[in-house]
Structure 1
Amino acid sequence: MEWRKCYMDVILVPLAILMSFGYHVWLWHRVRTQPHTTIIGINASGRRNWVNQMIKDNEKKNILAVQSLRNAIMGSTLMATTAILLCSGLAAVISSTYSVKKPLNDTVYGAHGEFMVALKYVTLLTIFLFSFFCHSLSISFLNQVNILINTPQDPTSMVTPQYIHELLEKGFILNTLGNRLFYVAIPLLLWIFGPVLVFLCSCTIIPVLYNLDITFSCAMKANKDINDGNPDFV
């Protein structure tokens, strides 16, 4: 059977996507089962304590709470703006007839057909749109927390610290998901230059994310506490 250029795209690109997807499935399972060994789990625990402390001393720390949430909202706003600008640029490239949609030269590995080139840009456009969607929802949840965290505590009120913490976690989870979509888009941006770079970039970025997501010192401490019978980790 004759070897075709599109075979490299069919093999390497799905493999790179599966690697990224598999890593994040593993990370999700690690956060659910061993949260004290991940940055995400430790930060979630810290945010729970932060909400309780802000509500407890609300009269003294209400401005601090608003400023902290404002910084988080600004970060999500920046990422949402970047995502929608990239979507606009990709949409302009897709609808244009400029030579930018053509391969740079004949040395680029992989398929160069119009369908494959359009698929590359549409895939990137879809990822950035989902990233914008996640960051927009994150801003919505954080704005709600910004208002509710300063409400007076009433025993009959449904706005409890637990409820506020759940809203805050949803906002940060959506922010994290939007950022992860950006990370997935980095290898796919290189797909414009060929599928080999997509695979190599995925092989490089996953170990980097692993070292950023896993906290080895806390994991060793947690294992020691479990062996010592510490009830906080049993």
Structure 2
Amino acid sequence: MLELGPGFGATTRVLVNLTPSLTALEIDEKSARLLDGSLGERVRILHGDATRIPAEDCSFDTVVAFTMLHHVPSPAKQDQLFAETFRVLRPGGVFAGSDSLTSLGFRLIHLGDTSVTVDPGRLPDRLAAAGFERTRIATTAASFRFQGTRPLVDSTGGAGRLTTRANTPDGPRWCSPHGPVGPGLPAGLACAHGHPRAPAPARRLGGPAAVAHGPPHLRRRRSAGGPAGG
């Protein structure tokens, strides 16, 4: 599982007890260092940008973002985050999270801070533009929750192919439910047919850059002979 924008780690402390392997990506270096000091033995803490996720394609089964989307500085950057999330998810993987709705109190506590709230009514179309399907939105008076899924079946229409395509600035790339596909790609490059791309650089606090692997449902399924998932 990958958590985007954990901040001071309130949700990270919950998630670490719910999944066997967790990576948290935080853009603020000070916050990332504090998280690494308190949770680094149980969570891979990365310092990096969620609009350019430092992970290979098809690296995770689940990506979550809790109360952080409004800190992304523009709708265009938010859409870039959605596209990057789609890229690093395996086919069948889920992107889920929550965020706040605009209110007077919300605006007051964000005076002098980045606050670009997301309209939940438009979010399904924005996620669909990134490639997600089966999007679900639930709203309350002050917040909303969302969930979208990366398709299992090839989005280009190939009958029976358990692969899916992500359109990126570097060209289309394909993934299978078990990770990257594409014969002859150099180790460490993104899954692709014709357009391999290295993941964005990142610094693993306290050690080399790393990518976590594995919500339990796919990890258990692959334990009989395939590689563990993430």
TM value normalised by structure 2: 0.24
Higher helix proportion, which one?
Answer: 1
Higher strand proportion, which one?
Answer: 2
Structure scoring higher RCO (CA < 8 A, sep ≥ 6) equals 1
TM value normalised by structure 1: 0.24
